[in-house]
């Protein structure tokens, strides 16, 4: 999201369906009541008035969480262009438990992303799949491929941003974006060396087949 926010032709919107997801799922996320009070929780209205609404720039980037797309008419997917972002669950799960202590497969969004990829293929779309490790290995090369797949031009400004919060941040940023707010670019990829939590291994085994399906379609680093 911060990368695309640097584009002069692009407006970014942070997780417009978060309140909708919290309302229909009952999920107990950090800042739940703040999000419900501060964001429209009517998903159908958000799709109609915001996602399919008018903006002042030709490109609008909606950062979405796949598991937020619940109890919705998903026909709007054929009116939008998509890119799926994935991360190896062995590296993702230890971070997720910092905010969601007892995560389930549904909380990772991976199974939902597999469903979305299949649905988009049925609609005749070929959404680029962006893997976090591949992106960090070669930010410019991978972003150039993503932009080409999306039908937009790459700009160098996408590679850096100023530290700290952005106006587009959702009100949940203070719970989730600590590391992001310290960043100024895509950090060099370094494989984690801390032992994987044993209690998460059953969930890792659930996640792995979904991730493998998605990674097969992922854009690869040229390095």
Express as a percent the part of the chain with pLDDT over 90: 96
Residues 6 or more apart in contact with residue 176 via CB below 8 angstroms: 30, 99
pTM of the predicted model as reported, rounded to 2 decimal places: 0.93
Query: What is the CA 210 to chain-centroid distance, rounded?
Result: 16
State pLDDT tens for residues 110-160: 999 999 999 999 999 999 999 999 999 999 999 999 999 999 999 999 999
Question: CA-CA distance, 221 to 133, in Å (whole number)?
Answer: 9
pLDDT at 222: 83
State pLDDT tens for residues 75-94: 999 999 999 999 999 999 99
Beta carbons of 111 and 82 less than 8 angstroms apart: no
pLDDT at 72 exceeding the cut of 90: yes
Question: CA-CA distance, 168 to 150, in Å (whole number)?
Answer: 22
Confidence band, pLDDT 50/70/90 cuts, at residue 223:
confident
pLDDT at 14: 98
State pLDDT tens for residues 11-27: 999 999 999 999 999 99
Question: CA-CA distance, 3 to 12, in Å (whole number)?
Answer: 10
Mean pLDDT of the chain: 96
Other CB atoms closer than 10 Å to residue 26's CB: what's the count?
A: 8
Confidence band, pLDDT 50/70/90 cuts, at residue 192:
confident
Tell which residue, 72, 44, 30, has the closest CA to residue 170.
Answer: 30
pLDDT at 185 exceeding the cut of 90: yes
Q: What CATH class is the domain 2-216?
A: alpha beta
Confidence band, pLDDT 50/70/90 cuts, at residue 99:
confident
């Amino acid at each position: 999201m911060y990368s695309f926010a640097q584009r002069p032709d692009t407006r970014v919107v942070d997780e417009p369906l978060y309140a909708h997801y919290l309302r229909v799922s009952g999920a107990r996320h950090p800042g739940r009541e703040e999000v419900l009070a501060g964001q429209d929780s009517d998903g159908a209205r958000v799709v109609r008035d915001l996602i399919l609404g008018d903006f002042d720039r030709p490109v609008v980037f909606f950062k979405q969480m796949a598991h937020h797309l619940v109890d919705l008419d998903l026909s709007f997917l054929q009116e939008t262009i998509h890119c799926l972002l994935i991360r190896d669950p062995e590296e993702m799960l230890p971070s997720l438990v910092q905010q969601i202590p007892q995560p389930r497969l549904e909380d990772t969004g991976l199974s939902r992303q597999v469903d979305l990829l299949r649905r988009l293929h049925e609609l005749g779309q070929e959404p680029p799949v962006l893997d976090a490790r591949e992106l960090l290995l070669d930010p410019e090369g991978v972003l150039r491929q993503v932009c080409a797949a999306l039908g937009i031009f790459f700009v160098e400004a996408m590679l850096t941003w100023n530290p700290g919060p952005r106006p587009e941040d959702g009100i949940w940023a203070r719970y989730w974006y600590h590391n992001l707010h310290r960043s100024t670019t895509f950090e060099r990829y370094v494989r984690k060396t801390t032992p994987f939590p044993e209690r998460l291994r059953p969930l890792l085994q659930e996640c792995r087949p979904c991730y493998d399906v998605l990674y097969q379609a992922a854009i690869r680093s040229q390095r």
